[in-house]
Amino acid sequence: MLVPNERDRRSVYMRPLFVYINVNRTRSLMKKNILIRVAISISLILGIAYFFEISYFWALVATVGLGMLGGIVNLPENMPGKADNPDGKGPHPYNILALFTVMLFLLFAVGNYFPVVTTFGVN
């Protein structure tokens, strides 16, 4: 962790922890966060497919849909200047919702043009 300068020592408790992390550590944290999100997504897909006895494809569609629903529910908090994005540096919530919408349309297109993928994982 980097040592804060004299001005930052007065307000060390007012600043977020990521201000003092160096770049290499930030990249490794980003990789770790991405791996954690991928692991959670895969476990959610497998759990939905197992418990609801649907194919992996439709479980993936449900997972993307749940992510989109979470983006819609948290939309007011993620706006720039609000509680979860006070400095406005995070991605705008409308961009995230657009990404989820594009992902859903692509999944439906793949399922429509290649119907065999919708049967994987079905007993």
CA distance 117 to 90: 35
Token digits for 10? 């007065």
- The pLDDT of residue 46: 95
The tens digit of pLDDT for each residue in 43-87 reads 999 999 999 999 999 999 999 999 999 999 999 998 988 888 888
Q: pLDDT-derived band of residue 23, with 50, 70 and 90 as boundaries? A: low
The answer to whether 106 and 117 are in contact (CB under 8 A) is: no
| pLDDT band, very low/low/confident/very high, at 6 (cuts 50, 70, 90) | low
Domain segments of the chain as ranges: 6-119
Say how far apart CA 41 and CA 89 lie, in whole Å.
Answer: 25
Most confident of 10-14, 17-21, 67-71: 67-71
